[in-house]
Structure 1
Amino acid sequence: MTFTNDATRPYAEVIGDPIAHSKSPLIHGFWLEVLGIDADYRATHVTPEALPGYFAQRRADPHWRGCNITIPHKLAALDHVEDRGGVRGTIGAINLALRVDALDDEGDAIIGTNTDAGGFYAPIAGLDLSGAPVTVIGAGGAARAILFALSKIGVGPVTILNRNVLKAAALLATFGLKGQALPLNAGIGPCALLVNASALGMAGQPPLDVDLSALPEDAVVYDVVYAPLETALLKAARARDLETVDGLDMLIGQAALAFEMLFGAEPPRDRDEDLRALLTK
C-alpha cells in the first residue's frame, strides 16, 4: 500500500483501522485555525499489514510531524519507533509517534509516547479515588494507559472484565494493582468508578450491555468511546443520575498533550466549549 506524500507544508495525522469515525482531524484542525498555524492534520486509514510500510514512507517525508495512533495499532506501533521514554516497560502501548526534529533535536528518528494516561486522568483529577474500588472493561491499548494512570493515584482493588481473562490478570500484575480479572459476562459489582476502556458500544462494534444496578449512587461512569458520544452505557448511567464522563473529555485531553508536541504550541483550551459544540454537531 502506498501512502500519499503530497504535502507542501507541515502536517500530522491520525492512523487506525477503521479511521473514518475519528474526530482528531476536527480537534487539531480547530486548534490550528484558532492559533493561525500554517499546518495540516488529517486521518489516514492504515491496516495492520500496512503499518510497517506506513512508517517507512512517513520517515522519508520531511513535512510529516508525527501521528496519533488508534485502534488497533497502539501496541504494534511500538515495533516501529524508538522507545526513549521506556513506554514499552510501563504502559506498554503508544498513541503518538513523533519526529525527533519536531522536538528541535537532530536526526530523523521517530519516537513513541503515550498521552492517553494524562488525557484519561484530567477529567477525574478532582475525585478522591485513593483506596476506592474501580472496574475497567477491556484490556487493550487504551486499558493499559488507564490502568497505568490508576496505579499512580492509588486506587483500591481493580476488577477487569475482558473476554481473555488471563490477559486481564496479566495487566493487573504488570501495573502492580490488587484486584481480580473476570469474564465480560461476570457483571458489574459495586465500585466508585466504572470505565469502559474497550471498543464495545462504538459505532460498528458489538454493543456493551451491562447492568449498573449494583453501582452506588455516588459512582462515576466513564466511557472512552466517543462515536457515538451518547453511548448506551452513559445513557444507562444518566438514567440512574450517576455522574458521567464521556469520550470527548479523554479525547480532547490526550489530543491537547499531543498537539503541543506535534506543533510546538499550547492548544487554546479556553475554547473547549466551542470545540465540543463543533464535535457534537
Structure 2
Amino acid sequence: MTAPAPAPKAFVVGHPIAHSRSPLIHGHWLSAHGLAGSYERLDVAPEAFADFLSGFPASGFVGGNVTIPHKEAAFRLVATMTPRAERIGAVNTLSLDAAGRLHGDNTDAPGFLAHLDATLGADWPETTGIGAGRTALLLGAGGAARAIAVGLLERGLPHIRIANRTAARAEALRGLDSARVEAVAWDHVPGLLGEAGLLVNTTSLGMAGAEALDLDLAGLPDGAAVADIVYVPLETPLLAAARARSLRTVDGLGMLLHQAVPGFARWFGVTPQVTPDLRALVVADIEGRR
C-alpha cells in the first residue's frame, strides 16, 4: 500500500517575526476548508537567509511568505520568478516549480488592487474620476510604493504621481513607466490634490507610535478615494480626515489579507476568500495586542 503524501507545510520567514499575522490568516483558511497542513513563523537572521532558502525544500516545506528584511534578498536568490516580481524587485511569496526550483512571486500588487476592488467596487477608476483625467497620487517611494505603482500600471491607470521626501527615490520609480509615472516634490503635494482621484499613503506616517501624516485634504475632489497601507491603527489620522470629508476610504488591513490568497492557493490547492469572519479575527488580534 502506498503511504499517503505528507500534509503540505508552509511558513513566513522574517527577522523579527513574532509580530506576523500570516499564521493567523492561513490557519483560519486551513481550518475553514478542513485541510491538512500547517503554516508557521520562522525567524531567520539576514546572514543565515541564503542557507535557509537552499535548504527549506529538504525540510518538507512547499513554500512560504517572505517579510522584512528578506524580500530583496529573496529576489536575488530565487531561480525563477514572475514578471511582476521582477518588475517590483522584491519577492514575498515562495514556491517550488515543476522542476523543484525555487520560484518567487510578489503578491503585494494584486493584493492592493483586490482590496481596492472589494472596498470601492471594480469600477473605481471611473467612479474616482481617474478614467476622466484625474491621477493616482502615491505618498512615499519605498518597496510598498513600488509594488502598488506596478499594480496600478497593470490595471491600466494613465497617470501616477509619486511624492517622496527624498526626491531621488521618487525619481527612481519613474523607470517603471516614464510615460505614465511622474515624480513630484513632497512640498508640491497640497497643490496637486485637486487633480487626484486616488490618494495612497505608502509611508509609515500615521502608524501607531509614529508621527501623523500632516496633510490637509480640503483640496481633494469630492469623488476621490483615500487609501492607507498602515493597519495599526485601522483608522489612521489620514483616513479619519478623509471620512470627515465624506470621502471613500480604504484601510491597510485588506491589502494584508488579499495578498495572502495566491500563496495559499499555490501551496494548499484551494483558493480562499477574504471574508468578514477572517477580517474580524485579525482585527481582534490587532486590538488584543494594543
Same fold per TM (> 0.5)? yes
Q: 1:13-56 deviations in whole A, cap 9, x for unaligned?
A: 22334433332211111000011111111233344334323323
Residue 144 (structure 2) pairs with residue 142 (structure 1): yes
> Structure 2 residue aligned with 1:69, among 66, 70, 76?
66
> Structure 2 residue aligned with 1:98, among 95, 98, 104?
95
Residue 107 (structure 2) pairs with residue 115 (structure 1): yes
Report sequence identity in percent. Answer: 44
Per the alignment, residue 173 of structure 1 pairs with: 175
| CA RMSD, 1 decimal | 2.4
Q: Is the 8 A contact 1:151 1:176 kept in 2?
A: no
> Structure 2 residue aligned with 1:277, among 271, 275, 280?
280
Take 2:179 and 2:68, find their aligned partners in 1: how far apart are those partners?
A: 25
Q: CA deviation at 1:72?
A: 3.3
Q: Is the 8 A contact 1:229 1:246 kept in 2?
A: yes
Q: CA deviation at 1:9?
A: 4.8
Per the alignment, residue 225 of structure 1 pairs with: 230
Give the structure-2-normalised TM-score. 0.82
Residue 206 (structure 2) pairs with residue 201 (structure 1): yes
Q: How does 1:80-91 map to 2 (within 5 A)?
A: 80-87=77-84, 89-91=86-88
Distance change (3 Å), C-alpha of 1:45 and 1:221: farther
Q: Is the 8 A contact 2:85 2:106 kept in 1?
A: no
Q: Is the 8 A contact 1:222 1:246 kept in 2?
A: yes
Give the structure-1-normalised TM-score. 0.84
Aligned pair count reads 266
Take 1:72 and 1:148, find their aligned partners in 2: how far apart are those partners?
A: 21
Q: How does 1:235-254 map to 2 (within 5 A)?
A: 235-254=240-259
Distance change (3 Å), C-alpha of 1:233 and 1:14: farther
Q: Is the 8 A contact 1:87 1:94 kept in 2?
A: no
Take 2:65 and 2:9, find their aligned partners in 1: how far apart are those partners?
A: 12
Q: Is the 8 A contact 2:173 2:181 kept in 1?
A: no
Q: Is the 8 A contact 1:147 1:175 kept in 2?
A: no
Per the alignment, residue 220 of structure 2 pairs with: 215
Q: 1:238-257 deviations in whole A, cap 9, x for unaligned?
A: 12221011112222221112
Which stretches in structure 2 are left out of the alignment for 5+ residues?
1-5, 285-290
Distance change (3 Å), C-alpha of 1:67 and 1:207: farther
Per the alignment, residue 4 of structure 1 pairs with: none
Which stretches in structure 1 are left out of the alignment for 5+ residues?
1-7
Distance change (3 Å), C-alpha of 1:12 and 1:84: same
Q: CA deviation at 1:151?
A: 1.3
Take 2:246 and 2:37, find their aligned partners in 1: how far apart are those partners?
A: 43
Take 2:205 and 2:70, find their aligned partners in 1: how far apart are those partners?
A: 17
Amino acid at match of 1:36: G
Q: Is the 8 A contact 1:221 1:237 kept in 2?
A: yes
Take 1:18 and 1:205, find their aligned partners in 2: how far apart are those partners?
A: 19
Distance change (3 Å), C-alpha of 1:177 and 1:61: farther
Q: CA deviation at 1:260?
A: 0.3
Distance change (3 Å), C-alpha of 1:19 and 1:135: farther
Q: Is the 8 A contact 1:74 1:141 kept in 2?
A: no
The structure number with the bigger radius of gyration is 2
Q: CA deviation at 1:185?
A: 4.8
Q: 1:110-150 deviations in whole A, cap 9, x for unaligned?
A: 11011112111122332123343111122222222211121
Deviates more, 1:172-181 or 1:37-46: 172-181
